[in-house]
């Protein structure tokens, strides 16, 4: 890797990190696992003057039970998420999706917060966080604030984080009884980004799908909820046919990109097919 020149600090506390970042202005970037930022530096698509490495800040890592929600430190790695018992018990969708990210080396280095702050709509975890109705916590020079996942992803590679703000934690409401989930990732090789990914959650009640939440990966400049399909799935019987019919609305309102791995119409088709499969798997049929 031959990046352009940059300065580098590795603060040991969050306060120091916030002030280092604020001091660096617009040309300062936070680096955690580096799995998204380093490729940009290598290709010289990013030229930060200062990297603030949050890798030494212990409080940013780990999962804690806060009653109705789990608090996941932003620096928690994909690998930690895959094996975490609290996540397995209360929001297994996140672990399932984290297990599909790239390869073991990336999963050991890459972090949940890094993936969300990078906000690549082709990344797996943004759509999952959106479907889980999570809340993100950011710390800046002005203190701490909370941002709902729905408001966090603003545009391609752009979040609601202000310059000087560090994403510190992700709060995920625990899934209660009756919820099932599935992340359907469609990609050509194990290490490739999703052409389309579907994060589906369903709550079953009396043989019906009472509620469905669907987050879509790589179906627009930001991760999106398939709200039309969610409405169509709510209240239908938990059957392949009914869920497949609901999934026919999955691409409504999306703006899928076109690239070497799929034109927009193919992505729309995949979103419908995969949503049907994800809903069925989530509902256990």
- Contact present, 50 and 30 (Cβ < 8 Å): no
Contact between 269 and another protein (CB under 8 A)?
yes
Beta carbon nearer to another protein, 4 or 89: 4
Of residues 139, 203, 261, 268, which one binds another protein by CB under 8 A?
261
Which among 61-69, 131-139, 224-232, 259-267 is the span making contact with another protein, rule CB under 8 A? 259-267
Contact between 6 and another protein (CB under 8 A)?
no
Q: Give the β-pairing of 153-155 and 143-148.
A: unpaired
Beta carbon nearer to another protein, 91 or 195: 195
Least Å distance between CB 229 and another protein? 17
Residues in the interface with another protein (CB under 8 A) total 25
Q: Which of 222, 155, 215, 206 is nearest to 183 (CA)?
A: 215
- CB atoms under 10 Å from CB of 190, counted, come to 9
Contact between 2 and another protein (CB under 8 A)?
yes
- CB atoms under 10 Å from CB of 199, counted, come to 33
- Separation between Cα atoms, residue 181 and residue 202, nearest integer Å: 6
Beta carbon nearer to another protein, 43 or 58: 43
Contact between 58 and another protein (CB under 8 A)?
no
- Separation between Cα atoms, residue 70 and residue 135, nearest integer Å: 10
Least Å distance between CB 101 and another protein? 13
Rounded to a whole number of angstroms, the CA Rg of the chain reads 19
- Separation between Cα atoms, residue 17 and residue 247, nearest integer Å: 44
Contact between 45 and another protein (CB under 8 A)?
no
Of residues 79, 181, 186, 249, which one binds another protein by CB under 8 A?
186
Q: Which of 211, 213, 205, 247 is nearest to 229 (CA)?
A: 247
Q: Mask 65-104, x = binds another protein (CB under 8 A)?
A: --------------------------------------x-
- For the chain, the maximum distance between any two Cα atoms, rounded to a whole number of angstroms, is 61
Return all residues near 231 (Cβ < 8 A) that are at least 6 apart. Answer: 249
Of residues 148, 191, 227, 255, which one binds another protein by CB under 8 A?
191
- CB atoms under 10 Å from CB of 116, counted, come to 26
Beta carbon nearer to another protein, 130 or 226: 226
- Separation between Cα atoms, residue 48 and residue 61, nearest integer Å: 24
Q: Mask 97-136, x = binds another protein (CB under 8 A)?
A: ------x---------------------------------
What residues line the site for another protein (CB under 8 A)? 2-5, 42-44, 103, 186, 188-193, 195, 260-263, 266, 269-270, 273-274
């Amino acid at each position: 890797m031959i990046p352009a020149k940059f300065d580098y600090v590795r603060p040991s506390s969050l306060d120091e990190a916030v002030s280092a970042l604020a001091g660096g202005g617009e040309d300062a970037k936070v680096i955690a696992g580096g799995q998204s930022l380093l490729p940009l530096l290598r290709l010289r698509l990013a030229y930060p003057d200062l990297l603030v490495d949050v890798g030494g800040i212990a409080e940013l890592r780990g999962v804690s039970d806060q009653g109705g929600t789990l608090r996941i430190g932003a620096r928690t790695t994909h690998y930690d998420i895959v094996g975490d018992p609290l996540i397995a018990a209360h929001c297994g969708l996140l672990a399932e999706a984290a297990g599909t990210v790239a390869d073991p080396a990336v999963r050991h280095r890459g972090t949940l917060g890094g993936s969300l702050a990078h906000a690549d709509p082709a990344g797996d975890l943004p759509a999952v966080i959106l479907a889980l109705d999570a809340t993100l916590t950011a710390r800046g020079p002005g203190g701490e604030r909370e941002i709902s996942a729905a408001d966090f992803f603003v545009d391609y590679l752009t979040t609601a984080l202000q310059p000087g703000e560090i994403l510190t934690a992700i709060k995920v409401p625990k899934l209660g009884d009756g919820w099932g989930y599935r992340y359907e990732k469609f990609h050509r090789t194990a290490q490739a980004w999703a052409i389309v990914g579907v994060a589906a959650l369903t709550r079953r009640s009396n043989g019906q799908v009472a509620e469905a939440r669907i987050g879509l990966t790589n179906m627009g400049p930001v991760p999106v909820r398939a709200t039309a399909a969610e409405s169509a799935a709510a209240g239908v019987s938990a059957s392949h046919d009914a869920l497949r019919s609901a999934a026919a609305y999955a691409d409504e309102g999306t703006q899928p990109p076109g690239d070497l791995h799929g034109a927009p119409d193919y992505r729309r088709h995949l979103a419908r097919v995969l949503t049907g499969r994800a809903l069925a798997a989530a509902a256990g049929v």
